[in-house]
Amino acid sequence: MGAGGFGQEHKLQDPNSIWTQATLLTAGEYSGNQKWDLMVQWSDGELDNYVGTTTSALGTEARIQNPNDLWTHNAVMTTGSFLVSV
């Protein structure tokens, strides 16, 4: 990503019907392997992390949460290192 643009596009996977069920996406370095991971929330509330995603392919799928009706109403998702001060 650069000034005034999004940068180069990389295709991680060919289109398929599974990804029509993805509702929220975020990315970060969650696994500690110094590679980007892709976090995906699905329409049924399931949450998966694709560990070690690169510019050429999705990483290995790791289930974070099984389907859960409580999580089906989320509108946004973000990740990061947040400091809470009380």
Residue 79 forms part of a structural domain: no
DSSP conformation class of 76: -
Contact 51, 37 (CB under 8 A): yes
pLDDT at 7: 85
Residue 86 forms part of a structural domain: no
Separation between Cα atoms, residue 51 and residue 30, nearest integer Å: 8
Residue 80 forms part of a structural domain: no
Distances (CA, A) of 39 to 2, 8, 63, 84: 23, 21, 10, 23
Domain carrying residue 47:
20-71
Question: How do residues 46-60 score in pLDDT, each as one tens digit?
Answer: 999 999 998 888 999
Residue 24 forms part of a structural domain: yes
pLDDT at 3: 72
Computed over every residue of the chain, the mean pLDDT equals 88
Residue 53 forms part of a structural domain: yes
* 1 has pLDDT over 60: no
4's tokens: 């005034």
- What is the percent of the chain with per-residue pLDDT over 90, rounded to a whole number? 52
Residue 64 forms part of a structural domain: yes
Instruction: Indicate whether this model's pTM tops 0.75.
Output: yes
Number of domains in the chain: 1
